[in-house]
A = this chain, B = another copy of it.
Amino acid sequence: MREAEIRAAALEQFARRGYEATTMADIGAAVGMRGPSLYKHVSSKQDLLASVIEATMTTLLAEHDAAVSGVDELTERLRRAVDAHVRFHARHRREAFVGTRELRSLTEPRRSQILGLRAEYEQRFRTLVADGVEAGAFTVTDPQLASFALLDLGMGVAVWFREDSGPSENQVAWQQVEFALRLVGAIR
């Protein structure tokens, strides 16, 4: 599909030189298309940015839901949610980078819409932590700060993880899960 190819090129350009410094001509050149035919597929650079970040957020939400689906035990839910979060960030570093770095370049109404998706994702973790506290499985004073910390651990992975050196994805995921369980007081 042509749109997917254009979106991939936009992601690459935004990650490399930043949204502001990227032109539609740069994106067109990367997929071998000039203005008129490019604009048959996408309406603006802003639309491309919004769709790139939105795709990241909807994928994260879907992977979270798949991870915890059918699992009732709260420590195991958290274990799987953190595992999915960390692995996504290890595998989609450019998406994570652009999602964080270029949020401020989004204009309304897409900006609010995407902030809504981010809030929804954070809320999933906050609820999980709060449920664990209520059930006596976790010891956390402030579920919001705990959910931020859990998310930050994964987002950090997107900054420093490398496939070709250092610890493997499995090592990182297992370790981060342990850190997460310790952080919420599930491991004493």
Let me know if B156 and A142 touch, CB within 8 A: no
Binary flags per residue of A99-112, CB closer than 8 Å to B gives 1, else 0 = 01100100000000
Q: What is the CB-to-nearest-CB distance from A125 to chain B, in angstroms, rounded to a whole number?
A: 13
Q: What is the CB-to-nearest-CB distance from A145 to chain B, in angstroms, rounded to a whole number?
A: 5
User: What are the residues of chain B within 8 A of A149 when measuring CB–CB?
Assistant: 153, 156, 176, 179
**Could you say how many copies of this chain the assembly holds?**
2
Q: Closest B-chain residue to A178, C-beta based?
A: B141
CB under 8 Å from chain B, chain A span 129-175: 141-142, 144-146, 148-149, 151-153, 155-157, 159-160, 167, 171-172, 175
Let me know if B156 and A148 touch, CB within 8 A: yes
Give 28 CB contacts A-B under 8 Å.
A16-B104, A18-B20, A18-B21, A18-B101, A20-B21, A101-B101, A141-B175, A141-B178, A145-B167, A145-B171, A145-B172, A145-B175, A146-B179, A148-B156, A148-B160, A149-B153, A149-B179, A152-B152, A152-B155, A152-B157, A153-B153, A153-B156, A155-B156, A155-B159, A179-B183, A182-B183, A182-B185, A188-B188
